[in-house]
Amino acid sequence: MADANTDGRPETVTDRADGGTAPGGTAPDGAALKEAGLRLEVAGAVATVTLDRPERRNAMTFATWRGLAAIGRSLPADVRVVVLRGAGPSFSAGIDLGMFSGEGGGGGFTDGSDAAGTDRFIAELQEGYTWLRRPEIVTVAAVHGHAIGAGFQLALACDIRVVADDARFCMKEPALGLVPDLTGTKPLVEIVGIGRALELCLTARTVHAEEAARIGLAEISVPRDGLDGAVQDLVTALLAVNPGAAVATKRLLWGAPGNSLDEQCAAERREQIGRLREVFGR
């Protein structure tokens, strides 16, 4: 795999081969990725984003979330699958706790007294997560070790979670007096239901891999030494599907929870017309 930015050349995505709507943007250079604690490797249709501060258990800073957003804005147009993984013993220990005291970089924490400014600020950080839902890509979280707080939410932001048997999820925010605000509450409720989501968040207890698989937090669960192989097999299978059908189907499936049956039926017809034109049109 080649580092996407080894030559320091910014890549810009303005047009996607499948007609999708990647917003375009300049890829973060090597220095920006390093400051963000991230590594990006692009090999053809597969991008791998590695949370890369193992000595801090991949704790994340504002720079990390801005870096993730920049990666999302600048993905090469032919990338179809994005894998998120963690270097070292854990996926991610969540927010860098040093930021609460201003030691973790990024200029310290806001006290929320400027509500409008804080709203804009958090919205900007959430952009590091929301791009993972774009229909043009399928996103896979490869989780081993701890996935705490913001790390748990990052796994939830992905389409599919593959977990090693040492994976441990914890929504720590309420225990720190905060709420999960990095897009995690909606997928958590959709996956495990409101009762289980309340129980997990309000006790901030740890969910081990076996339970995660049982309650739907993980689609695939494997021994620790089988994680990379399982992700590779999944990626291969995802890439084997017709690209246009994959985009349309992801759009359809993610739209389903917000639609009535009639609306969803109409969406199926609309997407199928597009597919029929693509597959059988002259």
Q: In three state form, how does the secondary structure of 10-27 look?
A: CCECCCCCCCCCCCCCEC
Residue number with CB closer to ligand CAA (56 or 134): 56
Residues in the chain: 282
* Least CB distance to ligand CAA at residue 16 (A): 32
239 close to 46: Cβ distance less than 8 angstroms? yes
Rounded to whole angstroms, the Cα distance separating 90 from 53 reads: 10
Q: Beta strand 38-43 with 46-51: parallel, antiparallel or unpaired?
A: antiparallel
Of the residues 67, 72, 94, 128, which one makes contact with ligand CAA according to CB under 6 A: 94
Considering only residues 135 to 154 of the shown chain, the ones binding ligand CAA according to CB under 6 A are 146, 148-150
Considering only residues 60 to 89 of the shown chain, the ones binding ligand CAA according to CB under 6 A are 89
Indicate which residue of 55, 173, 211, 219 is catalytic.
173
* Least CB distance to ligand CAA at residue 100 (A): 8
Residue number with CB closer to ligand CAA (40 or 170): 170
95 binds ligand CAA (CB under 6 A): yes
β-partners of residue 163 are 143, 221
Of the residues 61, 90, 183, 221, which one makes contact with ligand CAA according to CB under 6 A: 90
74 close to 13: Cβ distance less than 8 angstroms? yes
Of the residues 24, 98, 255, 274, which one makes contact with ligand CAA according to CB under 6 A: 98
178 binds ligand CAA (CB under 6 A): yes
161 close to 141: Cβ distance less than 8 angstroms? yes
Considering only residues 237 to 256 of the shown chain, the ones binding ligand CAA according to CB under 6 A are none
Residue number with CB closer to ligand CAA (72 or 94): 94
Half-sphere exposure in the Cβ direction for 15 (13 Å, CA): 1
DSSP output for 88-100? TT-SB--B-GGGG
* Least CB distance to ligand CAA at residue 211 (A): 17
- State yes or no: is 124 an active-site residue: no
Instruction: Look at residue 101 and give its three-state secondary structure.
Output: helix
Q: Beta strand 168-170 with 206-208: parallel, antiparallel or unpaired?
A: antiparallel
* Least CB distance to ligand CAA at residue 71 (A): 20
Residue number with CB closer to ligand CAA (173 or 271): 173
Determine the longest span between alpha carbons in the chain, in angstroms. 63
Binding region for ligand CAA (CB under 6 A): 56-57, 59, 89-90, 93-98, 146, 148-150, 172-173, 176, 178
Instruction: Give the active site residues.
Output: 173
